[in-house]
Amino acid sequence: MPLETSFQRRSLPLEYPFTIARGTETEAEVVTVHIEDEDGRVGIGGAGPSPHYGETPATVEAVLPDLLAVVEDVDDPHSLARIERRMRETIERNPAARCAVSIALHDLVAKRLDVPLFRYWGLDPADTLETSYTIGIDDIETMREKTETALERGHDVLKVKLGTDRDIEIVRAIRSVAPDVRLFVDANEAWSPREAVAKIDRLAEFDLEFVEQPVPAGNPEGLRFVTERSALPIAADESCVTLEDIPQIADRCDIANLKLMKCGGLREAMRMIHTARAHGLEVMLGCMSESNASIAAAAHLAPLLDYADLDGSLLLDRDPYDGVAMPDGRIDLAGLDRSGTGATLE
């Protein structure tokens, strides 16, 4: 029996409205892909598309039939390179849609071999790290309360969204209730270069680890300007979308923030990680608003990372998919007791 494929769109409410400098989300619109082999094993993958990168749930649904037709035509989930190449030839853009198929194929392959994905890749499950938990923009008292809740849940690595006229006050308030956590901030392109340097000078007193995407991605020289003058390390997110971007940002930042939904799949993410290392960059893996249908796969890359921001499922009110356990935010690959990515429909 040939491979059978299907996909389903879901709207998953977030626990809290999630605001960044560009706007507010109240739910995650995701599309989940299932690929089933002749023995009934099912590979699960998910797309968490972002309109900022030109994708929506509707565009994912529109192109998935063509992408899954490639999978059915090749009819061998182990032919990952061939399928990846043909998917890119079929649909050049739409990385979140291609990523959902990539994840489902990797999940199925690892299940057929009866190993967790990290073992298929030869990675050490003990060499893992904690994910940050993101505090979205809100009034300062609400952000303080969200921080207290995150601490109660065991998180001691936090990322705070900035890009307001209250940025210094926000970080001061977070530090007042969380003086000992590891803390990152993310401006999501909201500052001008000179504004960024001035703000970072003031933010440095709050013991931050780094500042993410302080200036617009369309201003690469502005990113260089900030990095050369910044009191803190700089991470590039919106400026780092595809493999080709890595050499371009290598002398303009300190950390490359990769996302599966930006780059189009797990094999491409691996290439980006190794390329970033070759250019002397530290590596962070982030996410969109996603379920464990995709976050579970991202977690298996943890042994290759310096930083993880894989809280997409943690920000949901309820995730229909289970994944890799993250007690107190720590990505527990060693505790995974099933093959594949670990994503299962509850």
**Alpha-carbon span 302 to 313, nearest angstrom:** 16
DSSP assignment, residue 61?
A: H
Q: Is the dihedral of CA 263, 258, 138, 203 positive or negative?
A: negative
Instruction: Check: pTM over 0.95? Answer yes or no.
Output: yes
Q: Which of 307, 10, 320, 346 is nearest to 134 (CA)?
A: 307
Domains of the chain plus CATH, in order, are 4-115 (3.30.390.10), 120-345 (3.20.20.120)
Residue 92 pLDDT: 87
173 in Cβ contact with 142 (< 8 Å): no
Q: For each of the chain's 346 residues, which pLDDT tens digit applies?
A: 689 999 999 999 999 999 999 999 999 999 999 999 999 999 999 999 999 999 999 999 999 999 999 999 999 999 999 999 999 999 989 999 999 999 999 999 999 999 999 999 999 999 999 999 999 999 999 999 999 999 999 999 999 999 999 999 999 999 999 999 999 999 999 999 999 999 999 999 999 999 999 999 999 999 999 999 999 999 999 999 999 999 999 999 999 999 999 999 999 999 999 999 999 999 999 999 999 999 999 999 999 999 999 999 999 999 999 999 999 999 999 999 999 999 999 8
Token pair recorded at residue 128 = 């893992």
Residue 1 pLDDT: 64
**Residue 125, phi-psi category: left (phi > 0), alpha (psi -120 to 50), beta (remainder):** alpha
Secondary element (H or E) of residue 13 = strand 4-20
**Alpha-carbon span 82 to 80, nearest angstrom:** 6
Q: Which of 280, 216, 293, 289 is nearest to 253 (CA)?
A: 280
